[in-house]
Structure 1
Amino acid sequence: MPPTRADYAVLDGGWWPRCWDPVAEVPGLVLALAARYGPIRSVMLNDASWDSRFRKLAVGTAVIRIGWFSSLDPTLFIATTHRGDQLDLLVVPPQTAAPAAERAMTMAADPTNFMRAPDILTATPPRQSR
């Protein structure tokens, strides 16, 4: 059984992609999540944040379904495992300065954290180019 977040935690962790290209960024994250939580069935992303949109993506030997939603907060990445577990991750924008990104991801991974993703990003210093 994978580790679980505290009853009041909002997020399971954070992710700091290097760019907004989902083909370049999503496979590595999906593989890392699968290694910890088991096979990933699908992911959900905000449709306005990313450079391209498609319905399926080959990741290793699996094909992952991708859902694009305008209603999904751009600061969230949601993955669903084959068992039906949902993993909610903070998405730190690629242009965020390293110290701010690290603080945001640490906050998102804290099992006692109850802040929502946009609030975490607001609580960190302004974004700067990497």
Structure 2
Amino acid sequence: MPSAPRLSLNPLLDRTGTVDGAWWPRTRDAAAELPALISAIDQRLGRAVLRVGLHLDAWDHIPRRIPALGRQIRVGWFRSADPHLITLTIAGTTPITLLVIPSGAANGPAMAALRLAAAGTLGVRPADILHRVGTEEDIPGEEGSASWENEGGRVPSLVPAPPSCA
């Protein structure tokens, strides 16, 4: 029997944050990982996942469809999407967006990212969450821009730096 997905969701799902939660898959194999995620989201929300969207270069073995209880879920892959995100279209509601924590992340930082992503992320970019908790890994096509804004400035830290010893 497959292990339960490592998943966190903002309990309000109020759509005010950058992400609605996070998912920490065990591998980069989309065909192996997506069925358990879809099942968990179906159960937690009491609604059916209809479609999944993900970044093409962030995953291996991406199927076109995933079988689920009484239906086939279409899987779309894109290069223009954020490679740290996965979007799930849900029946009767707004799609949810999850931060994808790299499968090889250490337990402590990954658990911190799961908590942070579910706690509300208004104004925080997904890559900044990963960078701050030390889980970011290279994804093909990424240029390591997690801590830089588009306009050239550095993104402020999510957690204040410890006081210095003077």
Task: Bin the TM-score by the shorter chain.
Answer: 0.7 to 0.9
Q: Which has the higher helix share?
A: 1
State the match for 1:72 in structure 2.
Answer: 81
Q: State the 1:10 CA deviation.
A: 1.6
**C-alpha separation in 1, matches of 2:60 and 2:15:** 35
Question: Rg: which structure is higher?
Answer: 2
Q: State the 1:62 CA deviation.
A: 2.1
State the match for 2:115 in structure 1.
Answer: 106
Query: TM (normalized to structure 2)?
Result: 0.69
Q: 1:23 to 1:6 in 2, by over 3 A?
A: same
**C-alpha separation in 2, matches of 1:41 and 1:6:** 20
Q: State the 1:6 CA deviation.
A: 4.1
State the match for 2:148 in structure 1.
Answer: none
**Aligned match for 1:17, one of 11, 18, 25:** 25
Identity of aligned residues (%): 34
Q: State the 1:120 CA deviation.
A: 0.3
**C-alpha separation in 1, matches of 2:110 and 2:36:** 18
State the match for 1:55 in structure 2.
Answer: 64
Query: TM (normalized to structure 1)?
Result: 0.87
Structure 2: segments with no counterpart, 5+ residues: 1-10, 138-166
Count residues with an aligned counterpart. Answer: 125
* 1:14 partner amino acid: A
Structure 1: segments with no counterpart, 5+ residues: none
SS of corresponding position for 1:48: helix
Q: State the 1:5 CA deviation.
A: 3.1
SS of corresponding position for 2:87: strand
> Superposition RMSD on alpha carbons, in Å?
1.8
* 1:10 partner amino acid: T
Q: 1:7 to 1:94 in 2, by over 3 A?
A: closer
- Output one character per residue of 1:45-69: Cα deviation in whole Å (capped at 9) or x when no partner: 1000111223211123321000000
